[in-house]
Structure 1
Amino acid sequence: MEALRQSESCLYTSTAIFIWLRRVRWQHKIVLLAPIVLTAIAGFSYVKEWVPVWAVALMAFLATLIPSLAEALEIQTHVEELKTKAAEFKALQDRFRRLAKITVLGNIDRAEAELSDLMDRMDVVRSGSITPPEKYYVAARDKIRGGDYDFSIDQALRDMAADGGVAALPKAT
């Protein structure tokens, strides 16, 4: 049961981080493109005829300020860190699920040892203390509850089990 709980936890965490990662990637693109666009607009002489001088100066100032802010906020680092953590949590989700659904049916001692190893890996992944903002957990919850992560094969097996069409797997000896 603990392996299923951890699998679900990893599902919610990885989904929240992936959603957050999408937002951070967009922010990163904006940070890269905004200075180029602002510099181009401020540099065109005909813009100075239509736009007040202070607005052109403000565009030029923002074009130089944005890269400094991006560097200070370490946006590129966040993208790489989020990619890594999301992938790690997704891998752990699959390993915990496999442990709960397959390994536990075999040797219990082996299952306990694998659970212990996976929990150690989970501790390492969590040690980064990456915490998505709450709104990304809410979005992840809504996405998961909406069925985005339900696989049709799972539903087909549930239906077959309900109809008595699938027998339980035999216990390994």
Structure 2
Amino acid sequence: MFINDNPTVELDYSALHIRMLYHLEGVDFRKDPYEGIEEREKFKTVQLILINAKDRKKAVCGIRKELMEMGYRTGLKDEDIEGLIETFVSLHPTISKFLHSGVGLKLQNIDSKIMDNILTNLTKMGIPALPVHDSVIVEKGYEEELKYQMVNCYKKVIGFEPVVH
């Protein structure tokens, strides 16, 4: 992809919503939330649904549906999915109270404010930027400015420094 005939770079917030939950709890969580997990994409899906589901039953159903869409054909019984949930909870007990509570909408609102601030700041500087979920694409020459904006806009809203890659 090119912007103004220049190559681009995409930076994103690492584990945005998991990290935001830790930060809302006053914990500066810096490590990889999936460290030691063999099926990383599977657990990313599990955490996404756990954060967004309004109750545990909906979380279990949502996880099953998504895993089936990802091609999983075994390990989809309720007890298997409950095991995945418990594995996630055991890795992240600090934020477990937020799981299947519907907190995802609150997090989406917060991250949209952060993204709005980033885009507003870059636009004022004349830097074209394309938002994609929790990432932003800019011309390669603006990579450092983008990182600065992503870190500082997050810190202003949340009070902690994010991990940006």
Give yes or no for TM over 0.5.
no
Q: Which has the larger radius of gyration?
A: 1
TM-score of the pair, normalised by structure 1: 0.29
TM-score of the pair, normalised by structure 2: 0.30
Greater share of residues in helix = 1
Greater share of residues in strand = 2
